[in-house]
Amino acid sequence: MSNNNLFRLAGWCAALSIVLTLASFAMYTFSPASPVNTILATIALLAVTVVYYALSVFHKKDSAALSMAGLVLWIAAAAANFASLMDFSNNVLYAVASLLFALPLLIFGYVAYRGARMPRGLAVAALLSGVLWAIVGFISFGGNWSTGMVITLLATLTWVVWLGWLWRVFLSEKKVPA
């Protein structure tokens, strides 16, 4: 698969992830333990894996080690998030999943911010989302569930903005090739 096809696929996977994440989040609000919610979130996690793979390919020239670390951490984050979806009552698992979720965002946000091939705002959106997910993780360790859910909403919204921007960048003909 050529890089252009990979980026196009990643763009569409980002779009799919936006729809599934928002649907899953809305469903979670009404029925947290719904199996449909778990299915939607799992498909979104799998689709975002393509996005992170494309990011690792895209940023390989800027920082091969950080790109690989971001991809590996995303795989760990996806596994932890899937486990968290299976057990809604485990706050420690949710906290670990949130912290792991933050790390690839922070890594790819940093690499994009440092480089010149992605829009600076896209990097800031990734960094902001990563910081918010890290805050969610630390708050969840503390057991403050109501504050954690408010920040989870903010983290989810910034993550969706980041995915939307990636969708646009990956499907744009004007991006700098990897």
φ, ψ dihedrals at 40, nearest 5°: -60, -45
Residue 31's pLDDT is: 78
CA distance 58 to 41: 25
Give the pLDDT mean for 112-124: 91
Residue 28's pLDDT is: 77
Contact present, 102 and 131 (Cβ < 8 Å): yes
Give the pLDDT mean for 107-116: 93
Of residues 152 and 48, more confidently modeled: 48
